[in-house]
Structure 1
Amino acid sequence: MFDVNGMELALLGRTLMKLGEAAIPTEGIGVYGTSEQSVIIVAADIKAHPGTPIKDIAARTGFPQSKVSACVARLREAGAVESEPDPTDRRRTLIRPAGRVSTRVAKVRAADIDPILTAALEDPTQLNEVKDALRLLATHLNPSALTRIDT
């Protein structure tokens, strides 16, 4: 066993992101100028900060406002988010997770990660151990964890 440092944590995060992207079904969603990774990051930010304007999402993610707008458009098309005018400033639009789960979102959430994880593991018999570790991480390090640190 080894101690995990910042670099190893970043590499693990990148590996997990790539595995997650590979597990998400892509049939029927078309070709977009935004990457899956940036859409996932924006979706996580919206989940952690519901009712937030695009400008604030851009500030938190470090993405240009145009990229956030493109990601939000993809998420809206998939039925993952909804938007409404800000009642205090009608020029701004507030973004929040959708009130109901769309067919596309349900398909993404139901995607089986076992084939991707099994293919990635040197020892496929460790699948359940790895899934248990992922459940533990997801419990303690969900998107709202980012709201508790100074980034």
Structure 2
Amino acid sequence: MNGAELFLLGRTLMKIGEEAIPTEGVGPRSTSTRSMLIVMLDVYAHTDTTVGEVALRTGLPQSAVSACVARLREAGSILTATDPADRRRSLIRRNPEITGRRAEVAASPIDNALGAALGTEDSASIAETVTLLEQLAERLSPDVLGRLR
């Protein structure tokens, strides 16, 4: 496998993951699920951060980060507070309480989305692939990103 193939595999896995995240009752969305997750994970890794800092770290446009922060705040996944050092800015942090939406997303299985991507309804094949993905996830947790440039 080369770098391009690995990149394409990652993109495929992201699309399957996006399909597996429940969207019923979420309402109209101006931001993608991918952007939402990128912003949320960055905020969770960097407490008391700002929209500008998230934009710099993630490479997302500041307007997209602002839209994601607004949606994440509305969903209860993050909290914001006025920055005491600069009252024009808001500090963003993880909400320590697990909201209903966070619990729903965390509990949503990937089986249907994975089966659709694999083109099968064979539960044994889907279960085997889930096991392989879990093994890969153990080795390549989000923590490894800190070791890359």
TM-score bin, normalised by smaller chain:
0.7 to 0.9
CA positional deviation for 1:121: 2.0
Cα displacement string for residues 57-97 of structure 1 (whole angstroms, at most 9, x for unaligned residues): 10111111111000111111111111123343333222122
Match of residue 147 from structure 1: 146
Judging changes above 3 Å, is the alpha-carbon distance between structure 1 residues 141 and 93 closer, same or farther for their aligned structure 2 residues?
A: farther
Cα displacement string for residues 23-79 of structure 1 (whole angstroms, at most 9, x for unaligned residues): 111111111211111111111222222322111110111111111000111111111
SS in structure 1 of the partner of residue 116 of structure 2: helix
SS in structure 2 of the partner of residue 82 of structure 1: strand
Which of 44, 49, 65 lines up with 2:41 in the alignment? Answer: 44
Size of the aligned set, in residue pairs, is 147
Amino acid in structure 1 at the alignment position of 2:65: V
CA positional deviation for 1:122: 5.0
SS in structure 2 of the partner of residue 52 of structure 1: coil
Match of residue 85 from structure 1: 82
71-80 vs 137-146, which moves further: 137-146
Query: Is 1:71 aligned to 2:79, yes or no?
Result: no
CA positional deviation for 1:137: 2.7
Please give the alpha-carbon distance, in whole angstroms, between the structure 2 residues aligned to 1:50 and 1:134.
29
SS in structure 2 of the partner of residue 139 of structure 1: helix
Match of residue 32 from structure 1: 29
Identity rate of aligned residues, in percent? 52
Provide runs of 4+ in structure 1 moved above 4 Å.
Answer: none
Cα displacement string for residues 8-35 of structure 1 (whole angstroms, at most 9, x for unaligned residues): 1111111111111111111111112111
Cα displacement string for residues 102-131 of structure 1 (whole angstroms, at most 9, x for unaligned residues): 111111111121111122225643322321
In the alignment, structure 1 segments of 5+ residues that lack a partner are none
Amino acid in structure 2 at the alignment position of 1:76: R
In the alignment, structure 2 segments of 5+ residues that lack a partner are none
Normalising by the residue count of structure 2, what TM-score does the alignment of the two structures yield? Answer: 0.87
Alignment of 1:123-142 (within 5 A): 124=122, 125-142=124-141
Please give the alpha-carbon distance, in whole angstroms, between the structure 2 residues aligned to 1:31 and 1:122.
29
Please give the alpha-carbon distance, in whole angstroms, between the structure 1 residues aligned to 2:34 and 2:85.
32
Normalising by the residue count of structure 1, what TM-score does the alignment of the two structures yield? Answer: 0.86
Q: Does structure 2 conserve the Cα–Cα contact (< 8 Å) formed by 1:48 and 1:144?
A: no
126-135 vs 50-59, which moves further: 126-135
SS in structure 1 of the partner of residue 28 of structure 2: coil
